Chain A
């Protein structure tokens, strides 16, 4: 026993050691990427190409330019911190290893998306992120809510993914290559291509669904069903930015096309507005953060759509800042949830005493989110205002919009980063336990990283922002980041933002109550559309299955016969070529009797309501067919037919009285309809026979049999020789079929089934016997 226990403990220790090593994977990749920083900053783009499907122009080609480096470092950095955090968050959850595997897979896929140079490769990685996101959101798979949220995210991003694939194919065809680096050089030709508009619409559909842009934003807050470390990694810092990445990546090709720029501006604005408004309605920490992420994603899309050098620069700085502070805030939310067992902001206050480090982390992240100097977020906000003010058109609407979004960020900061930590400890806070260092260090590091960008803006500008701006199609030389711009309009706007945001926070309960009165609007929201579409899909599938797979043999056969009659009949009517004379019209008087007899017997078999009469009619037909065989030179067939027919009649007579009487189940109309169909299909068969007769050519195989029957097989009866010699294997197969049929019949006849003696009860009885017998029960496990 003790030995077992030791083994178990050793195993546990090994598992824990492996868990501790996990962050080294992203860390190593991150350091490797960072080692290229100087090369990339100098304007080079190291690349790697491996053949994959060369015949389709698909290769595993990767390129590391400024944009890839920026995203790659974010993915690895936040990935490493999340993996440091996760073991403490999950404790000894039995499924945690599966989660780590999916997290690592997701990270690899995400790195693939941002490093790929080939669009098809990019798409494959893109879909992999959707799939791993599905598994991660559905981690708590026992909960129906989790499963629905996972499916929703998968369907929304999956449909967008399909659109993206179509767009990529159009782009690849138009540009003659799937390599991004080549397509960028063909900007002029691509912009004049007739497929330009559909290409752009399809690609943007992919980007907008992935980055949760309006009206697809609803999946992101629902994805909060995922464990918090997952939300921090996928649904705030990395995956949801894939759409933003794609737009930035393709901007050098499409920027300047009105539909490309305007779609991003308009939809980004709508998203920023929706997210900002809805964030303040929530009470769950994670949902507040999720909606404010939606708002931030909209802001990023808006900035990229504006497309001016300042705006793109602002987007890149904001992107870094947002990834750091939002990741940190999510992790802090997870820590609070873990220690205080609630995420409801109304129930949380005074947590700073219990978890001072988490409070510091939240404060640092909050500085950045609210845009207070010297944090990186301040830098981003100044740049955002600057780019709005520098616009030549639409200055006021854009300014109002970004002002609103920034105000919402300030209010959200106060709500999630300040309020839970100060004031008198609430009941939930008082019962909270202390946080493990793993739960506080990662957010703290992210908070410090956000601060560092503000403190050393030139370094961040030189190595991260400028190369990324250059990759997005603007001169990176203009990038010169500094914290202090002097007293100017953006600074004034920043101060106004802080003031308004504080007011919004102070009046939050009232504000929320007012907004909640508009809840009825949700009934017309896009999520209702999603639900309706899904319901429609389900009921259509059910209806279609019931239509096509209704289980009724007559219906299936009717469909088959109808299709046969229509298709073959049509083809024959179109092609048949009737000769005016020939042997097909010659009839000897005595030959007429047999066919007439067959037809009459068939009519009787169909119309009689006596089972015996039907069997007799079948016999008449069988013996008549034998007569025809005799008349047209087939004595072997005739003999076989006579023997078999006799057997069949005997068999039927034996069985028929154990069968139910002929019953008429169907009504008159159904019978007439079936009769019409049967006669039409029979007519087509007649036409087929005639068409085959007209096209008859002498067999090319027959001379062989005539020549070799006597010589090689020593037989004069050619039919016999074919059966037992030339095609003896066929005959063997036939015998096997008969033997199997005979075995089947025997088994069916000996099988004893009735209501009281079903197989199940038989098994139960056997089991009972086992239980009663002491000897047998001992051998049972």
Chain B
């Protein structure tokens, strides 16, 4: 199963990378969202897959490591999902303002600040 998920993660990353390389800012934001999913799935797969058994302590299985999915990566991914949402919402609104103010969504039109030309 790891092989299949690894390919899925790779596909999501490829899609995200392609989208953030676009000059259209809307596509960059879609790319960011794709990369977010890719990262969550990446962490999840790398943290070790366990079928079924959630990290909930019940009376019988208490104390046996191998009978649970690892809770630590899950806690980290949970944080990442929430933070990712915050970042996405902010990026979306920021872009909306940029587009409103400058009137273009072509990234190459927005590069004047670095080189002054």
Contacts and interface: CB of A to CB of B under 8 A. Distances in A.
A621 B31 CA distance: 13
Interface string B12-47: 111111111111101110100110011011101110
B18 A633 contact: no
Contacts of A605: 15, 19, 30, 34
Contacts of B54: 633-636
A687 B30 CA distance: 24
Interface in A615-630: 615, 618, 621-622, 625, 628-629
Given A558-B21, A723-B78, A682 B4 contact: no
B105 A660 contact: yes
Q: Which 10 A-B pairs have the closest CB atoms?
A: A682-B14, A551-B111, A686-B10, A551-B114, A633-B69, A678-B18, A718-B71, A678-B17, A741-B86, A584-B2
A665 B23 CA distance: 6
17 contacts: A549-B114, A561-B17, A587-B1, A598-B8, A599-B11, A615-B30, A628-B5, A637-B77, A637-B78, A644-B85, A647-B85, A662-B26, A681-B17, A707-B63, A710-B62, A719-B78, A738-B86
A696 interface: yes
Interface in A576-602: 583-588, 591-592, 595, 598-599, 602
Contacts of B20: 557
A606 interface: yes
B108 interface: yes
A611 B50 contact: no
Interface in B37-78: 37-38, 40-42, 44-46, 48-58, 62-66, 68-72, 74-75, 77-78
Contact of A633 (B24, B50, B117): B50
Contacts of A749: 93
Interface of B: 1-24, 26-28, 30, 33-34, 37-38, 40-42, 44-46, 48-58, 62-66, 68-72, 74-75, 77-79, 81-90, 92-97, 99-101, 105-108, 110-115, 117
Given A561-B17, A674-B22, 6 more contacts: A628-B44, A658-B96, A689-B10, A706-B68, A716-B56, A745-B90
Contacts of B79: 723, 730-731, 734
A149 interface: no
Given A587-B1, A719-B55, A741-B89, A753 B100 contact: yes
Contacts of B95: 659
Given A699-B72, A749-B93, A689 B45 contact: yes
Contact of A702 (B10, B34, B71, B115): B71
A660 B96 CA distance: 9
B50 A602 contact: no
Contact of A632 (B34, B69, B106): B69
A701 B44 CA distance: 17
Contact of A595 (B4, B17, B42, B78): B4
Contacts of A157: none
Interface of A: 545-546, 549-554, 557-558, 561, 583-588, 591-592, 595, 598-599, 602-603, 605-606, 611, 614-615, 618, 621-622, 625, 628-629, 631-637, 640-641, 644, 647-648, 651-652, 655-656, 658-660, 662-666, 674-675, 677-679, 681-683, 685-690, 692-693, 696, 698-699, 701-703, 705-707, 709-710, 716-719, 722-723, 727, 730-731, 734, 737-738, 741-742, 744-745, 748-749, 751, 753-754
A744 B90 CA distance: 7
Contact of A674 (B18, B45, B99): B18
Contacts of A696: 46, 48
Contact of B71 (A611, A651, A656, A719): A719
Nearest to A600: B11
Nearest to A679: B14
A677 B19 CA distance: 12
B82 A677 contact: no
B81 to A, nearest CB: 5
A718 B66 CA distance: 14
Contacts of B9: 685-686, 689
Given A731-B79, A738-B82, A552 B50 contact: no
A459 B40 CA distance: 89
Nearest to B94: A748
Contact of B70 (A586, A651, A702, A734): A702
Contact of B75 (A631, A675, A719): A719
Contacts of A707: 63
A753 B101 contact: yes
Contacts of A628: 5, 41, 44
Nearest to A740: B86
Nearest to A755: B101
B92 A633 contact: no
Contact of A552 (B40, B72, B107): B107
A632 B51 contact: yes
Contacts of B12: 598, 602, 621, 682
A336 B97 CA distance: 67
Given A621-B34, A678-B14, A745-B89, A554 B23 contact: yes
Contact of B38 (A674, A685, A753): A685
A633 B51 contact: yes
Contacts of B16: 678
Contacts of B5: 595, 628, 689
Contacts of B6: 686-687, 689-690, 693
A552 B111 contact: yes
A611 B90 CA distance: 19
